[in-house]
Structure 1
């Protein structure tokens, strides 16, 4: 049966109405002065989390890891990275969340492991090892002169190719990400069973309430490993996502994981578990619905990244080559992913920040001192009124912004950032592309993953109250001006505004969580306006994305509508003020 045969009014369930809050453990709160955030630090802020009005804590990877990719390179699914704490600390956090009426989900990172995982150590020990086929190993090819070549010409995510030579066994292994992150072979049934037991059941048995599923559409590859077409004549490696994303067995694998493992468990209060998948490189709504249709029994919802990718260049090699965009592009993206679930049994997500993107105020608003708070509130109104399950990222609720542009590239710690930066410097120095370094630096200053990973700004004390030691990553220069403690005392702060909006979102959940979306004035480059409808109720959202006043959109405000919220204390009747957001309701 087609997903489009679903009901017109969406079935209600707890995770659709919930607000999720993502915690990046390295950067949230350090309890012991070693400079790394940790689980006891999160526990010490449980009252803060509860006071926000959130329903679910999403904890980014805290598993044992060499931290090449900040925990997305897992060396042991059943252990915790020592600077973060212990498994017992995580158990205490699970219990504390539940005591405070919040659920907790973990990251499920099972497309790949670290090369330090025991499974990979065994796999690379010999060609005859029983776990050899748990990863992808292939012999070298050779060119006409007899020189060795990788098995394919695929380009990876973090710049560079997807194959690394292993001297010991004289073969290459596949890694879509860093060379230290070999891909697991989901074609191998024994490997899948081990994943289910070690990465999933181990933590569900401890009482977690679901998973954010990392890189969920990359488990199935085209295992005949064809070469990608040459689209960049200056390089051997070529974009090849069509061969390792949304592969031939992907739906089979996810269904199996759901029906044989996840369906055996419930949340701490007896509700269905929740799963949200990271679904990149899937632009067609029909393809996305196959993952999130309730009938398909795969995932509850997925993240679509079109909005957070605004400004990124085309393809992997141009990711940080900033491409200017206009507001109508954002409107079309929002409309697309708001509308795609209408008349279906699928569901969607709403978010503007996560651990992989620059801060929204710096990217989509204006982070100059006079505009940053107004931008933060306007963006909050824009996204907290949209249909779907809401996800917030730590620091978003206090309007944290990107690292200052005068920071050197040495302050950026992320493996992806550093790989792209090295590639850009080499390209400029070799004169292959003389302006590459300058362009990529600009792109990284706007969009690098590092911006979201700066330590949380708790107060105006040293290191923003994040740590009493030397922080693993530099604290933002403006922490004395932007911090949670100051905002908790200010009824007009960004933090206070988020709390009010979260209460309104719950109070008017019919129209905000479940309502249908109607885009107004799609080509207007200054304002973003849309209506939400649910039966007889309607809301009008009007947003000014510029630093100048704008006329109220031509459709106007209906007579039976009253102002529900504004990002300004005083409003003008005939115009929308710079970076103002308003919502009216009948």
Structure 2
């Protein structure tokens, strides 16, 4: 059987706005990405995923698309995209583009037409409902806070927006909408790109009665009526047949509040839906009572349980995980679950080791490979993100003072990952000669690419080795997964087994020493494939692990 190439590959996420600016306007651009491709090649990357670069009013940093066929001028031109594809392919690398098809910007021509009158042919491209007793059609709430309904006063009807009020949800029940979207995606596939990352794709099918939600945990009203909705698998399979399969594209679906069962169905090969899925359950283990904008602590046992359940569950059906700690919506993992101060290097390497030895396709977010940290800005004015500012106001309305609210923002804001890429110790970390659109983290003189490349023991080279191991050892791709010491409050350990081979991953997740005892019969003499400390013990039966120490042992039968 032909092995999908992406099963032994590693993807690198580029957030173009913050990657590299070549014009001095403070915004990263496509030319800047092209200039840095040799760096990504040196890291060992197989595929680059670009967050949206289409024309957009940038209310949600490009996830509000006003024209799918045009490039946002700040990033460059269509010629730049074509050149980027060519330059990637010349280096045996591939391009994945982000596509947002749950909603468009309200500035999109379709919406401009749709809002003009109830009988406009584009009206049914979106979801409209009459007021109920002079108010919103139901009590569903937006993911960005407030009602999920926006009133269009000219026609006195409400349109659905699960995100910002300028992001109107498309009506996937309308076959014309779906055909228009597939036509657009095929346009991009014919440009030569190699895959799509599908934004919040599991929200496109809504329960059509749009019921009032009487019982929603955490006040997230409406969620159960649009998450993995009634026709979702039908729609994704149709898209696969119309777009993905004809062009042999690799696809990853961003799955909001999904279930393991749903993702097994999305990714098992005979379903013909998606190559792999992102789920976020493992990144909610520090949410207090499931709520993001809190100062909650990491529930470590829960983290292990979730990651292990998904490893085992997806493997059982031949499904596939997208493995990640970081992206453009998440805080920096070394600041979040590691120690970005005393054990910065050790904890960053440990976190990478634990994730990269699992089954799935790893995704590295720009700067993760050099250990970039949350910026911990000292003022709300330094933050740019619309969700962050809404949350700050909401926290203050809930009775927190500015200092308390800011502390939560510093931990949770999406801007934590959006600060400019730190290339060197020069002006603005080498990101731009102008004024950056978002301030650079203040530690850039210590944490940057130039410094990482000059240090043989850097986080960069650890990531490079992990990427290489996945290509060299088939067990990482094919082996089953067995968790060890699940009740241990400091250790994250698991085994991978395949064809008589074994991998043992032993990791101390905390800043104190921890004891590990191998709970089974002795496996064959093992070699250390990689460790984040010098002279880790080669006999793994009983180990005293130093703070954040992680070791990969390998043995053949």
- Give the TM-score taking structure 2 as reference length: 0.96
Q: 2:200 maps to which residue?
A: 215
Task: State the partner residue of 1:480.
Answer: 445
Q: Which deviations, in whole Å up to 9, do the C-alpha atoms of 1:384-441 show, x marking residues without a partner?
A: 111111111111100111112x52122121111111111112222xxxxxx4866654
Matches within 5 A, 1:22-37: 22-37=13-28
Counterpart of 1:138 in structure 2 is: 129
Deviation (angstroms), 1:511: 1.4
Give 1:479 deviation, angstroms: 0.2
Looking at structure 1, the residues matched to 408 and 271 of structure 2 have their Cα atoms a distance apart, in angstroms, of 39
Matched, 1:386 2:358: yes
Say if 1:466 and 1:249 are closer, same or farther in 2 by CA, change over 3 A. same
Distance (Å, rounded) in 1 between the aligned partners of 2:169 and 2:315: 36
Distance 2:289 2:332 in 1: 21
In structure 2, the residue matched to 1:431 is: none
Instruction: Check whether the contact 1:427–1:436 (CA below 8 A) recurs between aligned residues.
Output: no
Match among 477, 491, 496 for residue 456 of structure 2: 491
The answer as to 2:279 corresponding to 1:304 is yes
CA distance in 2, matches of 1:346, 1:436: 46
- Please, which of 517, 527, 532 is the counterpart of residue 567 of structure 1? 532
Q: Aligned Cα RMSD in Å?
A: 1.7
Quote the Cα distance in structure 1 between the aligned partners of 2:152 and 2:288: 33
Q: How does 1:282-431 map to 2 (within 5 A)?
A: 282-283=258-259, 285-314=260-289, 318-368=291-341, 370-404=342-376, 407-428=378-399
- Cα drift, residue 477 of structure 1: 0.2
For the 8 Å contact 1:112–1:181, the answer to whether it is kept is yes
Q: Which structure's relative contact order is higher, taking Cα pairs within 8 Å and 6+ residues apart?
A: 1
**Aligned partner of 1:273 among 225, 229, 249:** 249
Q: Distance in 2 between matches of 1:497 and 1:482?
A: 15
Pair 204,160 (structure 1): closer, same or farther in 2 beyond 3 Å: same
Counterpart-to-counterpart distance in 2, 1:312 and 1:437: 20
> Which segments of structure 1 move beyond 6 Å, counting only runs of 4 or more?
none
Aligned residues of 1:322 and 1:440 also touching (Cα < 8 A): no
Work out whether residues 153 and 238 of structure 1, in 8 Å CA contact, stay in contact via their aligned partners in 2: no
* 3-state secondary structure, aligned to 2:115: helix
Q: Cα offset for 1:11?
A: 7.0
CA distance in 2 between counterparts of 1:379 and 1:536 reads 27
**What does residue 529 of structure 1 align with?**
493
* Residue 117 (str. 1) matches residue 108 (str. 2): yes
Distance 1:412 1:341, change over 3 A: same
Q: Which moved more, 1:456-465 or 1:496-505?
A: 496-505
Among 164, 176, 179, the alignment partner of 2:165 is 179
Cα deviations across residues 22-45 of structure 1 (Å, max 9, x unaligned)? Answer: 100000000100000000000010
* Residue ranges of structure 1 left out of the alignment (5+ in a row): 1-9, 143-147, 266-271, 429-434
Inter-partner Cα distance in structure 2 for 1:438 and 1:289: 43
**Are 2:179 and 1:188 equivalent residues in the alignment?**
no
The DSSP-based 3-state class of the residue aligned with 1:407 is coil
Aligned pair count reads 550
Q: Is the 8 A contact 1:402 1:452 kept in 2?
A: yes
Unaligned stretches of 5+ residues in structure 2: none
* 388, 409, 421: which one aligns with 1:456: 421
Tell me if the contact between 2:298 and 2:337 (Cα under 8 Å) persists in the aligned partners: no
Give the corresponding residue for 1:585: 554
